[in-house]
Amino acid sequence: MSARIRKGDRVVVISGDDKGKQGKVVRVIPERDMLVIEGVNLVKKHLSATPQRPGGILEVEAPMYACKVMPLDPETGKRTRVRSHSKDDGKKIRVAKSGAEIVGEG
């Protein structure tokens, strides 16, 4: 998987049931080309009770394919494509189509 999306990036869903929703990337699973996004692709998980915790039904974020999301431009707040750019010191950075640098946690 390319590093166009990293942990901590703000993304928007471009296809599927959650189309149009925005969120922050919580986890990246590069082996499966999937992402977990905060507040997006919620599924119900049934938990049985144990002595440590009560049982119940929880809503958790499920992974979704990275091809279904696009990063948000930090300047305009709209979805954008990402390109790579080299700085003067030789370090590569991710740049939005408008020219703004995309900074994530990871």
Domains parsed from the chain with CATH numbers: 10-96 (2.30.30.30)
Residue 21: what pLDDT?
95
What is the DSSP-derived secondary structure letter of residue 55? -
Contact predicate 95/83, CB 8 Å: yes
Residue 4: what pLDDT?
84
Q: ∠ at Cα 4 (59, 6), nearest 5°?
A: 45
Distances, alpha carbon 38 to alpha carbons 62, 88, 90, 92, in Å: 10, 35, 33, 27
* Paired strand residues for 36: 27
pTM: 0.82
Instruction: Per-residue pLDDT tens, the chain, 106 aa: give them.
Output: 457 899 999 999 999 999 999 999 999 999 999 999 999 999 999 999 999 999 999 999 999 999 999 999 988 889 999 888 777 777 888 888 887 888 776 5
